Structure 1
């Protein structure tokens, strides 16, 4: 393989520093450092950091990275790498910030930029952006700190992100032509010229490519929406030029809304990382006057590699992510209150056991278990102000949640095959080991038996028809081309992968939206209490602007709005937004022995955005 990949695995130690390193801004004005692996120097309105792998140039006026040079390659596009913030009164970038050198030791080059909030600036927080270079690291670490002193007024943060534009060799060719985020989306990007000549559509974020390798397809930044917890990195790479650029995550603790939350990642010519993950019904950060609050987002690594094809470079980036996770928390951050070192954090270990009386095969293998700090009555799906810690349980349900800040948390768990989740409040974590023992989750059901099920409870709609095509623009136009109105699904005969669509939206006919009823046909042969209550379980992967109507054998039994909604997941090309479920109770006498039908209507058809995505549907009998 190439030098970059080989050298990362055979990393040499730093050189010894032969002289005492001068500190601070005076040193930056006078001369570059003669250092043991890292050089830091001032250059007018720029500051330059350099090690054996990369040279990083930062614009002090705008707190942006204008250049990352790796050998002969420039890894930053026409626009600098920048942080930005939205929500409330408008967008904001941390320009005009106060610059300082945090460390210049020869082992670490660490600079920071602080933009204080003042009246007239949107989002009532201070923004501090940091960049850190260490010896022999092929890239630069960065992180942001938001600060809301108690003297600041009410405020909030919606979008909070970093954006890295990809370099082009010329108008016909990217330096890195391939996108790599997961196994479904790993294609070659449209060239800069292809994008410039693309045809606009009725949705401004979606364009139609008219030439090149993606001719006849749509292109959109939402094509690559990603559950960050499912990957350790994402980015771009080249088979032709043998270089790659990546976001590498050593931790997920600073992201909002838990492990299922997704947002933008890579896209044509760009890499995003969203900390406030505001798309798909993100919770946002809410702050009140008198509340003193700070949060650190990162550090994470802007990683550059070279020496292989796109897949080899992607493999290397994933190895780098695993390596960085093993280093977390980094000792060089230097703010023990905001970012406790390893010895001041706790590890929570235990074993989860799931017992489901109606589905005895369900186990805790692979369950998500986590710690969060939602407000009273809240849930981790809508929590942004604090940190969250999640891990997957092993085959026997055993888990270890490492590097947790001391405090009081809510312990939560969920797993494929189970509707709902387990929650235990008052979990106290101290520094060191915190054994939790065996935690037993006894799953409750509204009924005494399950008559039938459609799908698998996994908080996504990916097992249904078109569920592997959700990331293509205008996929909702295929519903009326490929499926009937009404949709008819027969229990025991129909296949969820072909006969139950991933989204129930509007049926398009002649360019207009029509209601699209879905009918479930089934037999009831078992004995049950006909004087009791039957229960239709509707678990949602996503709903937006939806009103549901349910009838049993032609008789109306419910008209309601799903408990969870928002996020525009269908138009934003997602396979889910926020999870929730509703249980519709109706008299069991509405059922008859033999053939029955339940009809589900998403009753709002003002546009294609109105939809539900089913995670799971079941009928439970008394």
Structure 2
């Protein structure tokens, strides 16, 4: 780390980190006065002697966070309503609006839920009634804020409810989240993961004159940033997205005085779409987010639609806002290490025991489930195969794989050990299906029998078996079935559009503008992959995108897979299995040995709105297609499969492949 940015981060002169019942110094810091609540005319103040949180009354907007000698960690230049807030994006389903309505949740009623020296919990609620139709999202919203004694931070959660009455209109909920806008004069270093942390541009660097807008508003080329060493870099908030399973702790570091501001999520049970749904985290602002519902990387499939009078209630959170500092002379980055330790403490404390809402189920109200998942694939092994590293989860009843589009209720996931044993703990009461998928095997598992979780239950499933899709022996395969295109070739970015964080980084797919690299790599002819000769890590591009033409329009592309068959079962049926990791307003057409046939052997039709190509995601929603190829279509010797993506209105339309396999006809016993 060099230059003035690095010097800022080495200017450290502060004290110990304190946390909820723990600290890196090993000394628990407790306020001698306990937690205090001060109710003012226009504000409510929660104070435990370590951190002081100020909220607007009765709106429930976080207007101030005082800590470590800083009067306010939030952006004091912003209006009070634009500092720390819950928000929604919603849409009426009566056709009255084409675009979603953004609404910062402003409560109309303040209430003290609990007030002791050990804990203060306050409620800011916004009831809905028919007089508000078309003006506010038709949901009752109760925002809660909790401050505990000795805690270096505070918790927030909310209860949303759509009442089962015909007076309550149909609507869709495109997004809901918590946002915190931090002081731009102090917070300059951001951390999302151990290998995704860096000094960040200032928000001013994105303004005209300092920043040049690129293909979409979120991406800006820094042409004259305040810190000259950042010149020529691209800033885009989507470069810092994460899978739900990985969004545990992220945030910012200030150095004057040294303060860390962290968003810690102990559970992702209340997020939509399962463990690999992607969401935003922190980004230039400086901003930090907790996103609970969104259409990012999935499109409209992950936007819940509620019918008129459809009853629904859900608790989002609690999320922990953690603040810390360092001892004199310490490296400021130790605040990131401490935040990770605090995340582990929060994780072990889930489900929290302190929320006062009856809608948040405590540990003794929940249940547990365990078992062992095995895989059956006789062309891999004659015995059952332990589902090493399988993702195993409970989600509302539905079809195979439906969990990835489920967005109204709770999901509970774990990973199996190397022998396939899994344990899913602290499951909210209700009825679920058991779902799973196994890295290394194509497709999805669903247990046919629904499972009812009751308070205190411990359900033992025993051995369950996933029958992996298989018709015959593998003739050839491309890639690894893991729902990602990460194993394929990702080109270096255009030198003019680089984020230095992702140079020589495993996530090099997060660089801006990679969609246009295809045209440079394949200016005239499309990609050709030769089975037995080509290497998918070098010769199969991570995304099948459009080619840019000289007139700045785009044309669809056709990739070829060439392979040789020593013999052909003319009367048999060969099976082509294609798993897609992403589809963005795309179509997959498949032809065999005749690229010019008017009718393809298979077409997916128009699929996908996950926009993963533009948003630097290596996957979106998962699609599997199993295509029969009549033996008579193939020939002894050289054969070619043509994969065409014809939709070409923009550079961002295209496909990412997870895995492709050709199976021979079933062998006769």
Shift of 1:183: 4.7
- 8 Å contact from structure 2 (residues 580, 657) kept in 1: yes
SS state of the match for residue 34, structure 2?
Answer: coil
Q: For 1:469 and 1:567, how far apart are their aligned partners in 2?
A: 19
1:71-470 equivalence runs, <5 A: 71-73=68-70, 74-77=72-75, 78=78, 79-88=82-91, 89=97, 90-117=101-128, 118-151=132-165, 152-169=168-185, 175-196=186-207, 197-211=210-224, 212-238=228-254, 242-268=258-284, 269-281=286-298, 283-307=302-326, 309=331, 311-336=333-358, 338-360=359-381, 363-375=386-398, 379-424=402-447, 425-466=449-490, 468-470=507-509
SS state of the match for residue 386, structure 1?
Answer: coil
1:114-137 deviation per Cα after TM superposition (whole angstroms, max 9, x unaligned):
112232324211121111111122
Q: For 1:362 and 1:509, how far apart are their aligned partners in 2?
A: 49
Distance 1:67 1:239, change over 3 A: closer
Q: For 1:120 and 1:512, how far apart are their aligned partners in 2?
A: 40
Distance 1:409 1:80, change over 3 A: same
- 8 Å contact from structure 1 (residues 261, 277) kept in 2: no
Q: For 2:377 and 2:253, how far apart are their aligned partners in 1?
A: 45
SS state of the match for residue 480, structure 2?
Answer: coil
1:261-302 deviation per Cα after TM superposition (whole angstroms, max 9, x unaligned):
011111112112211122122522222233332110000101
SS state of the match for residue 147, structure 1?
Answer: strand
Shift of 1:548: 1.8
Range 176-185 or range 294-303, more displaced:
176-185
Q: For 1:253 and 1:327, how far apart are their aligned partners in 2?
A: 14
Shift of 1:401: 0.8
Unaligned runs of 5+ in 1: 16-34, 170-174
Q: For 1:558 and 1:489, how far apart are their aligned partners in 2?
A: 20
Q: For 2:580 and 2:385, how far apart are their aligned partners in 1?
A: 20
Q: For 1:601 and 1:239, how far apart are their aligned partners in 2?
A: 53
Q: For 2:379 and 2:400, how far apart are their aligned partners in 1?
A: 28
Q: For 1:135 and 1:613, how far apart are their aligned partners in 2?
A: 49
Determine which of 8, 16, 33 is the counterpart of 2:23: 8
1:478 aligned residue: 517
- 8 Å contact from structure 1 (residues 506, 605) kept in 2: yes
Shift of 1:312: 2.5
SS state of the match for residue 601, structure 2?
Answer: strand
The answer as to 2:65 corresponding to 1:68 is yes
1:523-544 deviation per Cα after TM superposition (whole angstroms, max 9, x unaligned):
223x563311112211011112
Q: For 1:430 and 1:549, how far apart are their aligned partners in 2?
A: 47
Distance 1:400 1:312, change over 3 A: same
TM-score of the pair, normalised by structure 2: 0.84
Determine which of 562, 565, 573 is the counterpart of 1:521: 562
Q: For 2:466 and 2:485, how far apart are their aligned partners in 1?
A: 25
Q: For 1:306 and 1:335, how far apart are their aligned partners in 2?
A: 32
Distance 1:546 1:554, change over 3 A: same
1:446-485 deviation per Cα after TM superposition (whole angstroms, max 9, x unaligned):
4311111111111111111228333223221122123453
Q: For 1:48 and 1:230, how far apart are their aligned partners in 2?
A: 33
TM-score of the pair, normalised by structure 1: 0.91
Q: For 1:273 and 1:296, how far apart are their aligned partners in 2?
A: 14
1:305-345 deviation per Cα after TM superposition (whole angstroms, max 9, x unaligned):
22154542222222211211211222221233x21211111
Q: For 2:396 and 2:521, how far apart are their aligned partners in 1?
A: 45
Distance 1:386 1:213, change over 3 A: same
Shift of 1:563: 8.4
Query: Aligned pair count?
Result: 596
Q: For 1:377 and 1:185, how far apart are their aligned partners in 2?
A: 34
Range 442-451 or range 342-351, more displaced:
442-451
- 8 Å contact from structure 1 (residues 536, 620) kept in 2: yes
- 8 Å contact from structure 1 (residues 84, 91) kept in 2: yes
- 8 Å contact from structure 1 (residues 36, 107) kept in 2: no
Shift of 1:583: 1.5
Q: For 1:516 and 1:290, how far apart are their aligned partners in 2?
A: 47
Q: For 1:380 and 1:578, how far apart are their aligned partners in 2?
A: 11
When the two chains are superposed, the root-mean-square deviation of aligned CA atoms in Å is 2.3
